[in-house]
Amino acid sequence: MNLLSLLLIALGLVFWFWGSWPLLGSDSYLSKLHSLSVADNLGSALILVGLLLKLPREWPLLTMALLMLVIWNTILGYVLAACSQPRPRRGSQ
pLDDT tens digits in sequence order for the chain, 93 residues long: 899 999 999 999 999 888 888 778 787 777 777 788 888 889 999 999 999 999 889 889 889 998 998 888 888 877 877 777 777 777 655
Residue spans of the domains in the chain: they are: 2-21+29-83
pTM of the model: 0.78
Position 92, amino acid: S
Q: Rounded to whole angstroms, how far apart are CA atoms 32 and 64?
A: 28
